[in-house]
Structure 1
Amino acid sequence: SLPQVWGRTVQTVFIGGGTPNIFGPQAIDMLLKALRSLLPLSADCEITMEANPGAGRFSQEATDWQGYRQAGVTRLSLGVQSFDATSLKAIGRVHDSTDSLEATQAAAKVFDRLNIDLMYGLPGQSLEMAMHDLETALSFGLGHLSLYQLTLEPNTLFASRPPVLPVDDVLEAMHDQLLSRLAASELDRYEVSAFAQEGQACRHNTNYWRFGDYLGIGAGAHSKLSLPDLGVIRQTCTRHPGDYLKAVHGADGSHRRQEPVPRDRLGFEFMLNTMRLVHGVEADLFERVTGLSPQHLARAMSKAQARGLLDCSQGRWAPTRLGLDFLNDLHVLFLPQ
Structure 2
Amino acid sequence: MFLIAVRSLSNTFQANSVTSSWNGLKAAAQKGMQNITGALCYRNSLLQAIFHQPKIVRWLVQTHKLESCTSDDEQKCLCCAVRGLVVAYWREGKVTYEALNNIDAIFHHHGWRAGSRSGQADPDEQATWLFNAMRESLPTSVFSQFEAFMHVGTTSVTCCLKCKHESRKLGDEERCLSLPIAPRVRGGSVEDYLDRYLREFVQDYTCEKCKDNKSQKERDIRIAHAPDVLTIQLKRFDWDGRKDSVHVTINERLDLGDYRDTGNEQSMRYELSAVIKHTGNAVSGHYISAAKGPDGQWCEYNDSFKKIRSLEDVVSGKNFTPYILYYQRMEA
State the TM-score, normalized to the length of structure 1. Answer: 0.29
Which structure features the higher share of helix residues?
A: 1
- The answer to which structure has the higher strand fraction is 2
Could you state the TM-score of these two structures normalised by the residue count of structure 2? Answer: 0.29
